[in-house]
Amino acid sequence: MNPPTSKIFAVAHALAMQNTSCVHQTFQQSETWQMHLNHAFGHIKFHADKGIQLITTSDLQYPRELAKIPNPPKLLYAMGNLDLLNSRAVAIIGARKASHHGHAIAAKVSTFFSNSNITVVSGLALGIDAAAHQACVASKGSTIAVLAHGLHQITPKQNVHLAENILSNGGLLISEHPFGVEPKRHFYPKRNRIQVGLSDVSIIIESTLNLSFLK
């Protein structure tokens, strides 16, 4: 099934806005705009074939609170349960090299919120993130993993099985990057703003003072 015309226009606009140098030209030249529409159609179909849904700021599924942050993502790439995007949520994040005590606290906090029907948001990193996701899945709760790269891969590789469990348990994987984009260091601080925007409150466990989430 082909995407509706309104969706193609919305994705074309979002992709054009990501390249601000060509925005004026895009809207002034009909041939250029048609090129963007064709690209958007292909972009939607390419991701749909891989089970990835595209969400623009004009879609009803776009997280209402995320839209309020400075510089919200123009496009979100999602795999899983989109209903979680506008659910009550808490972000649980922290140190990758967490202590046993930190893991235990993250699991306890995540289980509490999961049992309260509150979605747990984290970044699928080692340490606190993984502990929060794992506890949520174990308690049959809902969790969102926000990735700093395309949905073609899971990093770190140790969490591939965890990501599969998140999806099979009705959770969601989400990113602002299209399929094929590899992780880069500067993507991780940008990823954190999405975790904040998806959540009503953020809980930081065993952080360091230079934790990028705090910036």
**How many domains in the chain?**
2
pLDDT given for residue 211 in this prediction: 54
Q: Has residue 154 been placed in a domain?
A: yes
Q: Has residue 200 been placed in a domain?
A: yes
- Same domain flag for 189 and 102: yes
Does an H or E element contain 10, and which?
Answer: helix 5-17
- Same domain flag for 148 and 195: yes
- Same domain flag for 125 and 27: no
Q: Has residue 123 been placed in a domain?
A: yes
Q: Has residue 148 been placed in a domain?
A: yes
- Same domain flag for 89 and 187: yes
pTM over 0.85: yes
Closest CA to 205 of 91, 77, 61, 58: 91
- Same domain flag for 151 and 210: yes
- Same domain flag for 45 and 104: no
- Same domain flag for 120 and 165: yes
- Same domain flag for 104 and 40: no
- Same domain flag for 136 and 87: yes
**Lowest-pLDDT range, 77-86, 141-150, 153-162, 183-192?**
183-192
- Same domain flag for 107 and 202: yes
- Same domain flag for 175 and 100: yes
Task: Identify the domain containing residue 18 by its residue range.
Answer: 1-49
CATH of the domain at 134: 3.40.50.450
Contacts by 164-170, CB closer than 8 A, 24 or more apart:
165/137, 166/80, 166/133, 166/137, 167/79, 167/80, 169/137, 169/140, 169/142, 169/143, 170/80, 170/81, 170/142
pLDDT at residue 31 greater than cutoff 70: no
Q: Has residue 90 been placed in a domain?
A: yes
Query: What span, in angstroms and rounded, lies between the C-alpha atoms of 24 and 98?
Result: 48
Closest CA to 10 of 41, 32, 31: 41
- Same domain flag for 91 and 152: yes
Note the pLDDT tens digit of each residue in 128-171: 999 999 999 999 999 999 999 999 999 999 999 999 999 999 99
